[in-house]
């Protein structure tokens, strides 16, 4: 998780993936999540959201038929 005091915003950074069979998301409590597809070559960043919102980063490994999300237990 990243935080900007200047912008009062948070976002998540994900390292590059070994392959492209995963997605990431920034879960927003009581709101819509921000989902993105991974890149095998670059780090990925979620959308910036207001730091007053409770958020947590999640990843999903999928095989085309779906997968399951693994999220941090801690909300930031």
* Per-residue pLDDT, 62: 72
Q: Is residue 22 part of a domain?
A: yes
pTM beyond 0.85: no
| Residue 64 domain boundaries | 2-71
Residue 76 lies in a domain: no
Judged against a pLDDT cut of 90, whether residue 71 lies above it is answered with: yes
Number of domains in the chain: 1
Q: Quote the pLDDT of residue 52.
A: 96
| 43: in domain | yes
Residue 30 within a domain = yes
For the chain, the straight-line distance linking the first and the last C-alpha, in angstroms and rounded, comes to: 8
For 28, the token pair is 């927003």
Tell me the pLDDT tens digit for each residue of 4-41: 999 999 999 888 766 667 888 999 999 999 988 877 78
> Which residues sit opposite 55 in a β-bridge?
28
Mean residue pLDDT across the chain: 87
């Amino acid at each position: 998780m990243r935080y900007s005091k200047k912008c009062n915003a948070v976002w998540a950074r994900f390292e590059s993936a070994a392959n492209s069979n995963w997605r990431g998301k920034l879960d927003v409590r009581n709101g819509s999540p921000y989902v993105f597809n991974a890149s095998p070559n670059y780090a990925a960043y979620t959308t910036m959201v207001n730091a007053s919102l409770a958020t947590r980063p999640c990843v999903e490994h999928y095989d085309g038929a779906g997968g399951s999300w693994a999220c941090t237990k801690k909300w930031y």
